[in-house]
Structure 1
């Protein structure tokens, strides 16, 4: 933007090209802000991109309107999303053959909007059209892109040539009475300005191309992750239904023949299956990526919730001859919270302690309250966390994953999800660890006092 402002101040380029470059910059900044979750800044950038006064001669606002529609859809302003998508479609009708990538992007996002406004049949037809468009343009997109760039560059060079010719003509008429040496100086200045213009223009195009490539790769990687997680979540439901249904059936049909311990274990299996199914359904319903919407909270006894998580995981700890000790009295600890999400957070941290503790180890879980400050701790005497892994331990899909002490498979998701849940509740999570001696995770939340 500093380069564009300097070019505008020095009147190096025509106003059309200044505005065109600004439109592209704000378009890219808006897309990047959307990807990083800064929807407020993204809205400012994208709305500025589509309102800069400039003639649409090649459909350069197509991607801006499409991204704006996607943004409005994410923040729930569906009527504005529809207007933005319609604007993009109007430009595609005129300039679609010059913007195959814009057509593919619009065709990929518009079905999501139709689903949100409850038009599934139209969404399915649009999605089918998107598949056909993507297939037909896949082999020819590179050629079309090169042709489009060549045409644009040719038009810009022609316009620049006309502008520079007029400037030279005026300078010549004004300087016809001056000495030859003055004319030579003026011509030297013209040549220098031409070189400066070409250098600035080439640099702008290079930066724009790099930004578009990076954003496209990020969007494709994100979509691949979402598709993979949706398939996994969907396929997990069938075996869970079977496990939960079998436990329920055994509780109903064998109530008189099974022992109290077995009944307790079956109830835990049924409860765990139902909780896990609720988590999967929530993931599928929310699109596996919507962590920004507010959570539903209610008054809960957090100590009771933590105790239930401990009781459930005692069976898992026994498979490694480990002992989980619950260090808390019977007094309730009340807070406004989401039971399912906090249960998931407690479960993740305790399972982590089991995974990285040795055979026969001890895990201590407790909760204390001072005023409104609630502190939960999960301490183990396991392998600890190396210094090099401490900065990335809460990252989603972190590369610094380690197998458990019994060879358990790491996924790199649990602590990242836990951190987001705790922070959603206005709390924080941290740890203290010594390699080879163990780790203590702390979770701090606000209670009712």
Structure 2
């Protein structure tokens, strides 16, 4: 899905200008040599570093970055690559001005994360990706954030979360528009468009995929002429898109168009120095067409691919080649040869599957949440210390103020006897006023402290209860007698219900959690598809099906993706909870001109008339148990209503007791 190019990172302006310019030219020359011949480029840098010892921080960082990339991508020597990544971090830390090298620091964390990811150390990889994200966020560096979104997209793609991957690639493209525009940025942006299209295609959204493939080709056509000196690589990029488009038309059954695109791709990328691996994959796609059409040229094509695989290794292509050979000989009724290639196919397929299984089993979202939670805890500790310091200062000033008041009072007592009574009355009035004001302030503080304590308690309870839920799930996987299993299932149900309540308490007591937050253009069809996909397993537990009817023409709304996602998940979860076993749930999107109307319909127990006016109240007394005894906490619909109204929308429902319920959401379209 990608072709890595090396570009120059930003340099620190505080270093001596003449020295920096000299070494910059030397390292730029080494990079240019590297892009054409990596080994020669590294040899040139060796000579530069050997002859010159006083290279500045920014230039030395660029040299180490080149070494790190070389051992990571060309030699696949992860130990050496990690040593250079650690050296990159070390020279930034020694500079004494880390903030000035925020861009380089982000690159360093992402490089370490890539190496950990390649070696299967996923927790360490996610931690470094998170640090890279924080570096970019704290320094308002959208280029670093674009690198983070790109990596998250690649992780989601490899975990087969294709719709989520597409959203990350689109986000990375938008963030990349703020980067310094050069050939490296241009090439990454066309890759992001192509990756978005591939992800949509994998997700079964072929129309959206076709739109983004066309956008990629248009982008290459319009922006490519600005970089005529790299015309060869631009042709390679076009060839990659042709090959991916060919796969889309194969899925549509348009083999003529697919064959034409694949042949165009192969003709370009089979050339020496071009992307031969992509050419092999395109040839295998072409071989699949030949297989379906019983084309007599199939064996010759497979023979050519075999020769290429012997010189350019490609594990994924190797698996597919053996599969096609087995199918070919099976059709020729040469079963012995077919069996041989089937055995090779199974062996290679299992080997490739093992390398991705660990990645698919890792919960990247949970690990990033844990990292964010830990960061939040550290920030709270720092804020708490500052508040204690401020409180100490305030107490000192309060004592001083009391002393001053006492001195004034004593002075008044020494004044004329005629005003003694009046002074006493005035003092009493002032004292009562102070007491009332203090009491009011204490009430305000107590209210805020109550929310803080509630959040803190809920937050502290979430981790141990989550741990209990995880351990219970693991124990349920073991063999045991029926009584033990029933007890564990009760524990698991109780912990899951507790976690759900804790999460809703955290959200409803947060200061800003229900605000609209950051908005962006979001495809409503994709958002609903993602929401439903994540809840299908929950519906399956009650043998229910969720049916979605999307807009014929994709429509993007200017909304906060996560907030509206939460609203949809809440409504669909309620439909599952209050519907009987084996029923269907319908989600529908309707175009209403200036608005989009979304409905969630179930055929469940409905809402009684006497509690209809209470369902949107916070901590409502209208909460009821689900059809399978699921608990309800009375917070979800209140939170959903606040989120929808903060977007300028409206939410309502229609329900008949015993005949189901339909919830409606109306959101405004973005003003063009």
TM over 0.5, shorter chain: no
Q: TM-score, normalised by structure 2?
A: 0.32
Q: TM-score, normalised by structure 1?
A: 0.45
More helix per residue: 2
